[in-house]
Amino acid sequence: MNGFEKQELETQGMMSKLFGSKPSQNALVEINNFLAESTKATELTAAIVSNFVKTWSAKFDSSNIEYRSSMYRKVADHVYLTAQSKDDPVFEESRHLAQVLELPENLQRLADNGAKKAAYFARCRQIIDGEETLPINDINTIFGYDYEDGYDIRVQVFHNYFNKKFDEIAEQQRFSPDEEAALREICAKLDIPYEFKPNIQNALDKYRYLWSAENAPLGDIKVDFPLNNGEICHAAAQQAGFCEHKTIEKEDNYFELTRRLEIDETISFKGEKIEHPHFTEEVTAVVDIGYLFLTNQRVIYLSNKMARVVELSDLDNANLSVNIIYFTQKDGESIAIKFNDDVAEVMFAIFKRILNERQ
């Protein structure tokens, strides 16, 4: 039987032979070995057990209750892993073994509960792997579970599987419709909702948008401003920040207060105010918030205050730096648009597709 392996009998020592005692543990080893060579637990009859017990001068008591419980648990595991209905004849094997091993009912229930949880987990995983022939509702019936009884286990099985799958998705940073459909199908088979923690859902959304930006058909977005002949708007983003390079002046106000005041030559005093040295810094600052449109002919920025248009034919190159896309024209001028992090990657992926399809 599955789960049983043959064990060696304990040899009888010289002192045992001298006093006529026998290693009574061998009675349980004999039972174990018999079950290891059997195909069903019902082959172990009460007469066979009685013979083993008598041969080794053993008895069933508290000293060997754990050994008997472990043998019963192995059979219970087999029963719940293989049962095809609640009336399956395989259940007779555990009932029969409990009787011939004289196992108390409370220990039977304890072993059955452990076997049910382990087998339920395994069979749910087999559903994911396509190795289980029964649907989850039939398995619930066999185990005597309602929807809630096995819910936590089903969710755990799914997330154990999903965690490995998510590592693959995160490594590729892409989440295809086929992958999502497969995950939804698994959840349907396990009868659990398709839901994730907010941080995981946000990551999946990002990877889905990136996949679509690179693979889905480019969109045809309707806009409320005139387009050129044959011009199609493929993408639009709001909260786009128009950036400019600026040189700003900052005050170096780093100083340390000590019990002894040391005067730095770079510090000047005006009245009671200490004036610290100044320095300049180059920054890319957002000066306006509006909309960015990507068409098959132009890059268009519009807001209530300004409008900027760059013909794709005039572009020299474009690059993404963190969450800012820089569009550089052949004449050396450039515009920089800042987005939310996820939006920047998606818009840049769509822009690269537009350029590729123009070639």
Amino acid at 354: I
| Predicted pLDDT of residue 259 | 42
Angle, CA 64 vertex, CA 62 and CA 69 arms, to 5°: 100
Distance CA 304, CA 327 (A): 21
Determine the average pLDDT of the residues in 350-357: 93
- Asked if residue 86 has pLDDT above 50, the reply is yes
Helices (H), the chain: 14-19, 25-37, 46-55, 65-82, 91-100, 105-129, 136-143, 151-172, 177-190, 198-215, 341-358
Determine the average pLDDT of the residues in 343-348: 95
| Predicted pLDDT of residue 10 | 86
| Predicted pLDDT of residue 341 | 76
Determine the average pLDDT of the residues in 45-61: 95
| Predicted pLDDT of residue 150 | 95
Residues 6+ apart with CB under 8 A from 161: 125, 128, 186
What percent of the chain has pLDDT above 70? 88
pLDDT category, 74, cuts 50, 70, 90? Answer: very high
Phi, psi of 336 (to 5 degrees): -125, 130
pLDDT category, 101, cuts 50, 70, 90? Answer: very high
| Predicted pLDDT of residue 207 | 96
Q: 0.85 cut: is pTM over it? A: no
DSSP tally for the chain: helices H, then strands E: 11, 9
What percent of the chain has pLDDT above 90? 80
pLDDT category, 350, cuts 50, 70, 90? Answer: very high
Paired residues of 325 in beta bridges: 320, 337
Angle, CA 285 vertex, CA 282 and CA 290 arms, to 5°: 160
- Asked if residue 359 has pLDDT above 80, the reply is no
Residues 6+ apart with CB under 8 A from 220: 232, 233, 234
- Asked if residue 15 has pLDDT above 90, the reply is no
| Predicted pLDDT of residue 18 | 47
User: How far from the centroid of its chain's Cα atoms is residue 9's Cα?
Assistant: 47
What's the sign of the alpha-carbon dihedral 192, 78, 110, 146?
Answer: positive
| Predicted pLDDT of residue 262 | 54
Contact 120, 139 (CB under 8 A): yes
User: In this predicted model, what pLDDT tens digit does every residue of 183-219 receive, in sequence order?
Assistant: 999 999 999 999 999 999 999 999 999 999 999 999 9
Angle (deg, nearest 10), helices 198-215 and 341-358: 10
Q: What is the mean pLDDT of the chain?
A: 90
The residue whose two tokens read 């510090």 is 267
- Asked if residue 286 has pLDDT above 90, the reply is yes
User: In this predicted model, what pLDDT tens digit does every residue of 225-283 receive, in sequence order?
Assistant: 999 999 999 999 999 999 988 776 666 655 444 444 455 555 555 555 556 666 667 78
Phi, psi of 239 (to 5 degrees): 55, 35
What's the sign of the alpha-carbon dihedral 194, 198, 200, 205?
Answer: positive
How far is the CA of 62 from the CAs of 31, 103, 104, 210, 318, in angstroms?
17, 11, 11, 64, 79
User: In this predicted model, what pLDDT tens digit does every residue of 109-165 receive, in sequence order?
Assistant: 999 999 999 999 999 999 999 999 999 999 999 999 999 999 999 999 999 999 999
Angle, CA 128 vertex, CA 124 and CA 130 arms, to 5°: 105
* Helix (H) or strand (E) run with residue 320 in it: strand 315-321
| Predicted pLDDT of residue 84 | 97
Paired residues of 268 in beta bridges: 275
